[in-house]
Chains A and B, each alone.
Chain A
Amino acid sequence: MAKSHLRKCLALAFCVYMITACSHKNVVVLVPDPDGRVGSITVANAAGSVEIDTANESTAIRDAETAPGAPAEMKQKDIDKLFGQALAIQPQPPVHFILYFEKNSTRLRPSSLAMLPDILSAVQARRSEHISVVGHSDTLGDKSYNLALSERRALVVQKLLVKKGVDEAFIETTSHGEENPLVKTADNVGNPKNRRVEVVVR
């Protein structure tokens, strides 16, 4: 009697040990975006799912056959302890700039030219070695002309950046012609929003 009880106890202890030792416990935490906004996540497996839409709420999932645990707040110091190194290496989000041009021209609009210092400080802040410069046009005129125009626009921006000290090797220049408009229009329609160069600083 006592012997079988002991055996049961041992078996139970062994089970508990196996579960803790072998489980690939997962923890998922929702944290605010860099701008302070809080999104939402769904954590799901075959056994169930949990929704989280509150900052610093977390769920623990024991294994794929066990439903994710009820959301619980994770203290900031625990977040730092668990994820400090992953967060320390997190790159700054890329920045996008849109520079507009005069009609059928490679001349930058004054308000866009004025954005150059912002681009340069974004390059410096990120020590960026990966800058995309993508030229576009509106649909006025024929396709091949617009492809060439968008290419010339991209080159103008590339040269401006190089002149201000950005290493040419870090700039990747491409041109999309009229194929990738910001505002969709019929063919042969002039649109100031489509006469542009997009710069992405990563």
Chain B
Amino acid sequence: MKLASLLMLSVAISIFSFAPCVAAEEFVGLVKSVEGQASIARGGETKEVVAGMDIKMGDVLKTGGDGSVGLIFSDDTIISMGPRTELAVEDYLFEPIEGKLAFIARILRGTVAYLSGQIAKLSPESVQLVTPAATIGVRGTHVLIKVD
């Protein structure tokens, strides 16, 4: 009895500890290009942005006065950021088979170019570009946004 419950507990622990690893494997996006100074904040840690690094949901990217960054997401969405720009990847979900789609980016300041990917094509209402003064909805397109 005791052994059985201990066994169950260990199974439960291994399942729960394994689950986040699987989720972390899912490719969300990558930094394709970077120039000048740029940082990425993830889970309380801030790192320098380097080309080729992975992007995850919840990341906050910041560019310096001479910085610019280009991102490619798994659904082909392209985001590029000019200098003195801050952008948060608030929500990202690309599971077309299950119909689970979401793309929410918050632009806190600076200049951003958004080029739509498959999420916008399959479900335009799932895409939101949020600025301090308004929210932008897209229909398969290319948008430039500036936040003072």
Contacts and interface: CB of A to CB of B under 8 A. Distances in A.
Contacts of A130: 30, 32, 52, 72
Nearest to B52: A129
Interface residues of A, number: 47
Interface string B32-74: 1111000000000000000110000000000000001111100
B148 A32 contact: no
Contact of A85 (B82, B134, B137, B147): B82
Interface of B: 27, 30, 32-35, 51-52, 68-72, 76, 78, 80-83, 85, 97, 109, 111-113, 115-116, 131-148
10 contacts: A25-B148, A26-B132, A32-B142, A40-B141, A42-B136, A44-B136, A44-B137, A64-B132, A86-B81, A86-B85
A91 B71 CA distance: 7
Contact of B145 (A23, A28, A63): A28
B145 A91 contact: no
Nearest to A50: B134
Contact of B80 (A26, A63, A64, A87): A87
Given A45-B133, A82-B146, A85-B111, 8 more contacts: A25-B148, A26-B132, A26-B145, A39-B138, A63-B132, A87-B144, A89-B70, A90-B113
A132 to B, nearest CB: 8
A29 B115 contact: no
Contacts of B76: 93-94
A160 B101 CA distance: 33
A24 interface: yes
Interface of A: 23-34, 37-45, 61-64, 66, 68, 79, 82-91, 93-94, 129-130, 132, 172, 179-180, 202
Given A26-B133, A82-B144, A86-B81, A33 B30 contact: no
Contacts of B138: 39-41
Given A93-B78, A202-B72, A26 B134 contact: yes
B112 A33 contact: no
Given A88-B68, A89-B81, A94-B72, A42 B137 contact: yes
A24 B137 CA distance: 20
A176 to B, nearest CB: 10
A44 B144 contact: no
A29 B144 contact: yes
Contacts of B113: 83, 86-87, 90
Contact of A26 (B27, B33, B34, B146): B146
